[in-house]
Amino acid sequence: MRAGRFAGGLAAISFFCSVTAGCADPDVPAGTGGPATANRAPLNLAELPPVSLPDLSRLAAPAAAQVRARYRTVQDAVESDAPTVEIANAYGALGLILMAAEYFDSAAVSYWHAEALAPRDPRWPYYLGHLHRMMEERGAAIAAFERVLTLRSSDVPTLVWLGRARLDEGRPELAERQFRQAAAFDPRGAAALAGAGRAALARRNFLGAAEYLERARAAAPQASRLHYPLAMAYRALGEIDLAEAHLARRGSVEPPLADPLMEELDALLPSAMKFEGRGIRALQSGRWTAAVDAFREGLELEPDNASLRQRLATALAAGGDTRAAVEQLEETLRREPDFARAHFSLGAILALQGRQTEAVERYQAALRLQPGYLEARLGLAEALRGAGRLSDSLSHYLEVTRVDPRFAEAWFGRADALVRLGRLEEARAWLSEARTVHPDRPDLVSLDAALRRSLGATR
């Protein structure tokens, strides 16, 4: 049985996952007080907590100045007894910049005030929905997006985001309903069609899934993220050749979603943040050169911005210039030695280069600085396995699957390590559990089949 064939591969996935959509950013800033917890904005102003400025010391001076300016605008509007809509807009604008700076608690309070003052304005529950989504508060995000739809029932981005939240919630039938509504309003909307296809796949309607996903691919042929679910649908339909062809072409580029309100958010950000957002979106769509250019422009404004420099390194590495990426990461750590994401990214590059022992050290550094950094723990487990330290990798894989079972690579990695250690019965039991969580994952299916054949031959 071939073992360890994916050693190091997960590092690449984790490396890009840390800056693209669908994965959580481990570096939630200290001092934010944790995620906002309310499911909806209270409508009674007297019951709302006051809006106050968080500690802005970690922000670059220009960004901190813009946050303070927006806070003063709120104060001036309230003290001058300005029209209600003006006060609501001031609170909302403050929420936007606080959200962009990742002061999520303070942003949530600002949005609550804005929504309470202007309950017919769909912007504030929409941004609250995204804030809760970023903090992985799925129930609160769903409630906020549903409030938007009571005000604007045909809003395609809201329908798509609500469908995605429902799909993550494990309710594909509700998710498909939202996606189909979005597709009815925008028949060539690739994001809505892709969502409907993924929801149909989750409901095991494989023919419907293939039809929706093929429509999405026709609308957005560059969206390589569609190939994996298409492969799963065709495999279930018995179209093995088609499934293999799509598996070979799978990638990370998502179908585009026109989202005017999030574009408005981008336009309101301080300049360096604006370039960071622009660069992240370029990364998500596979436009490496555009991402590099955006991050470099942001760094010209804020050269000490560690997050921007780390993201620049990510874009450089994605485009194939690993030497320049390493230089940027080393410069990041020279300026900010305790920046966990930079250690993680260096570990990912070292792992891709086959330097697993050095990668282990970088991942361990990231975990010392950010113990809950799940992608770093997964990278560490992969690097340990790649370095031949199979026993050492097991506990890290186990912890990843305990915290977030969605990481199929962790299930596979631990199974592979157990096989290579000769602990075949333990590996068989582990794979059986893995396949209940990820029943259609090809690498798990293949390893399970090979292990069963091996065990059968020895009995």
Mark whether 265 and 164 lie in a shared domain.
yes
Full residue range of the structural domain in which residue 108 is found = 30-137
Residue 11 pLDDT class (50, 70, 90 cuts): very low
Query: pLDDT at position 452, please?
Result: 87
Check pLDDT > 70 for residue 20. Answer: no
Give the model confidence (pLDDT) of 395-404 as tens digits.
Answer: 999 999 999 8
DSSP category for residue 83 = -
Check pLDDT > 80 for residue 3. Answer: no
> Measured at the alpha carbon of residue 75, what is the angle toward residues 73 and 80, in degrees to the nearest 5?
95
Q: Which residue has 């045909």 as its token pair?
A: 154
* Cβ count near 23 (within 10 Å): 14
238 in any annotated domain = yes
Give the model confidence (pLDDT) of 201-235 as tens digits.
Answer: 999 999 999 999 999 999 999 999 999 999 999 99
Mark whether 121 and 194 lie in a shared domain.
no
Percent of the chain scoring above 90 in pLDDT: 68
**Lowest mean pLDDT: which of 79-88, 236-245, 359-368, 435-444?**
435-444
408 in any annotated domain = no
Query: pLDDT at position 103, please?
Result: 86
Q: Which CATH number characterizes residue 81's domain?
A: 1.25.40
Inter-residue contact 223 to 192 (CB < 8 Å): no
Query: pLDDT at position 286, please?
Result: 85
Tokens of 6: 């994916």
Listed in sequence order, the residues at least 6 apart from 295 whose beta carbon sits closer than 8 Å to its beta carbon are 275, 276, 279, 308, 309, 311, 312, 315
Q: How high does pLDDT run on average in the chain? A: 86
Q: What is the mean pLDDT of residues 27-33?
A: 31
Query: pLDDT at position 252, please?
Result: 78
DSSP 398-415: HHHHHH-TT-HHHHHHHH
Q: Which amino acid is at 215?
A: R
Check pLDDT > 50 for residue 194. Answer: yes
Q: What is the rounded distance in angstroms from the CA atom of residue 375 to the CA atom of residue 318?
A: 18
Listed residue (169, 197, 171, 203) closest to 182, CA to CA = 197
Q: Could you say which of 76, 104, 137 is where a domain stops?
A: 137
Mark whether 208 and 159 lie in a shared domain.
yes
195 in any annotated domain = yes
Mark whether 35 and 74 lie in a shared domain.
yes
Mark whether 168 and 236 lie in a shared domain.
yes
161 in any annotated domain = yes
Q: Which of 53-62, 96-105, 319-328 has the highest mean pLDDT?
A: 319-328
DSSP category for residue 39 = S
Overall number of domains in the chain: 2
Chain centroid, CA 157 distance in Å: 17
Give the model confidence (pLDDT) of 113-153 as tens digits.
Answer: 999 999 999 999 999 999 998 887 889 999 999 999 999 99
Mark whether 113 and 75 lie in a shared domain.
yes
Residue 453 pLDDT class (50, 70, 90 cuts): confident
Mark whether 165 and 265 lie in a shared domain.
yes
Mark whether 129 and 158 lie in a shared domain.
no
Check pLDDT > 90 for residue 409. Answer: yes
Q: What element of type H or E holds 167?
A: helix 156-168
Query: pLDDT at position 458, please?
Result: 56
Query: pLDDT at position 304, please?
Result: 86
